Amino acid sequence: MPLAFVSLLVILESLRGVSAVSRRLPQARPLLVLAIVVSSILAFVSGYQASSDLGTLPPVLENELGTHHAVGRFLLINSLLLGTFAWVRGIARRGAAVWSLAYYLFLLGQCVLTVWVGLLGGGLVFEHGFGVKPAQQVGEALATPTR
């Protein structure tokens, strides 16, 4: 879900020179940034809630899950900073160029981190069965050698 909002905001920011988009961007930007922040918070909380039910995991899976959680924390922090810079950019009377630069840098960071967290989470689901198989089966599948 965060990827959809991030993608839409990037598309709108890229097309801000088009007259129809530039008229609507001031209304759309705050809503999309708020949607990015809220969806990042919800994804972060739901990920931690789901991982608390896993119990003991093999070290390989523990490392992959730890990496996913760490990058997820960066994504959450980045989304909060993105929201802050979007808000400050909108009300700044001085230094608007600096706040705009910070906003665009954190938007770029949000794109990269959202894709990275999605790839890590997808790997956990599709390679190891996280969220699909019971935790015991996930650990057993890793312990069983494949041909």
d(CA 140, CA 97): 54
- Express each pLDDT in 44-61 by its tens digit: 998 888 777 777 778 888
pLDDT at residue 37 in the model? 94
Helix axes 19-51, 59-91, angle to 10 degrees: 150
SS (H, E, C) the chain: CHHHHHHHHHHHHHCCCCHHHHHHHHHHHHHHHHHHHHHHHHHHHHHHHHHCCCCCCCHHHHHHHHHHHHHHHHHHHHHHHHHHHHHHHHHCCCCHHHHHHHHHHHHHHHHHHHHHHHHHHHHHHHHHCCCCCCHHHHHHHHHCCCC
Which percentage of the chain shows pLDDT scores above 70? 89
- Express each pLDDT in 2-53 by its tens digit: 788 888 888 888 887 777 777 777 788 889 899 999 999 999 998 888 777 7
Structure tokens at 56: 């003991």
The separation between the first and the last C-alpha atoms of the chain, rounded to the nearest angstrom, is 36
Rg (CA), the chain: 19
Q: Which of 1-15, 60-74, 82-96 has the lowest mean pLDDT?
A: 1-15
Q: Is the pLDDT of residue 145 over 70?
A: no
Mean pLDDT of the chain: 84
Q: Which of 66-70, 85-89, 98-102, 143-147 has the lowest mean pLDDT?
A: 143-147
How sure is the predictor about 137, in pLDDT bands with cuts at 50, 70 and 90? low
